[in-house]
Amino acid sequence: MTLVKCHSYLLERIKHHSASRGGAFLPLIDPDKQDYATTIRIACHCQDAGADAILIGGSLLFSNDLDTLIQNIKEEVSIPLILFPGSSMHLSPYADAIFYLSLISGRNANLLIGEHVISAPIIHKYQLEAIPTGYMLIESGRVTSVEFVSNTRPIPRNKTSIAVAHALAAEYLGMKLIYLEGGSGALQSVPVEMIRAIREVVQTPLIVGGGIRTPEEAAAKVEAGANIVVVGTAIEQQDDPTFVRTMAAAVHQSG
């Protein structure tokens, strides 16, 4: 996006959907999960379904030409493409923005500041909009890729007070978004009780993703206080435009 920054755009979409007691819908596409043609087709399905933006990324990146993939997607879709990086190598000047993730739930210094120092000069060179995001990994019932790769322990799903304290810290540190993540292929999604408790004490927009498999589950996250819902694996596995439309509608009009 050139005229409107992605962060401002996301805030506008959140405000727009809040009128119907809904939230913004951001599908997550992992380039490693399918070939280029399928990735582009899924992106088109997402735009047609009314997705507000598309996240691109994953814990690993075996696809070695992210630039070409993003350029090809942008030839077919007009909604923003936002990088969801697994490391400082997952960058492209052709994306519209990047979630500048700080894994505040863990104690791995490399994912709190190390990767950021490496990537910052490249992001500056690319003139890529960086959106500071407090990234909180929540226990999902199994070890997910992000837990293994990040070498961090998730916040226990029954320790709501710990999650609330981390979310408050993210807000006080000036994070523009707070992302509660169960992880790709999570056995269980982020508990609604945890979302609700965090929503009661922070004003920062909340993103919730990981392990969300049904429209009903997505709607429940919004009703609990999520401003943005991210769905990845379920969309990639279904590869069905009707499913994506149903999911988007549930998030946009959860009430």
Q: Which tens digit of pLDDT belongs to each residue from 183-230?
A: 877 899 999 999 999 999 999 999 999 999 999 999 999 999 999 999
Asked whether residue 191 is domain-assigned, the answer is: yes
* 101 domain residue, yes or no: yes
Q: Pick from 188, 184, 209: which is nearest to 141 by CA?
A: 188
Mapping DSSP to helix (H, G, I), strand (E, B) and coil, where does residue 192 land? helix
Confidence of residue 35 (pLDDT cuts 50, 70, 90): confident
Beta strands in the chain (DSSP E): 24-29, 54-56, 81-83, 97-103, 129-137, 177-181, 206-209, 228-231
Q: In which residue are the tokens 């929540």 written?
A: 138
- Is the Cβ–Cβ distance between 102 and 175 less than 8 Å? yes
Q: How many domains in the chain? A: 1
Q: What CATH code is carried by the domain that includes residue 174?
A: 3.20.20.390
Task: Report which of 12, 11, 82, 18 is spatially closest to residue 53, judged by C-alpha positions.
Answer: 82
Residue where the block lists tokens 């280029």: 36
Residue 160 has pLDDT above 70, yes or no: yes
188 is a domain residue: yes
**Whether the model pTM is above 0.85:** yes
Domain membership of residue 47 as a residue range: 6-252
Spatial distance between the Cα atoms of 27 and 196, rounded to a whole number of angstroms: 22
Instruction: Tell me the HSE value of 116 on the side-chain side, using a 13 A CA sphere.
Output: 16
Q: Give yes or no for a contact between 228 and 6, defined as CB atoms under 8 angstroms apart.
A: no
pLDDT at 59: 62
Minimal CA–CA distance to 145: which of 195, 210, 191, 83? 210
Instruction: Please tell me whether residue 249 adopts helix, strand or coil conformation.
Output: helix
Average pLDDT taken over every residue of the chain: 93
The single-letter code of the amino acid at 177 is L
Q: Is residue 1 part of a domain?
A: no
| CA gap 202, 186 in Å, rounded | 25
202: nearest Cα among 230, 225, 218: 225
In a domain, 113, yes or no: yes
pLDDT at site 34:
84
The answer to whether residue 66 is domain-embedded is yes
Task: Output the pLDDT for position 2.
Answer: 45
Rounded mean pLDDT, 162-182: 98
| pLDDT of 176 | 98
Q: Bigger pLDDT: 7 or 88?
A: 7
Report d(CA 153, CA 147) in Å as an integer.
6
Per residue in 79-133, pLDDT tens? Answer: 999 999 988 889 999 999 999 999 999 999 999 999 999 999 999 999 999 999 9
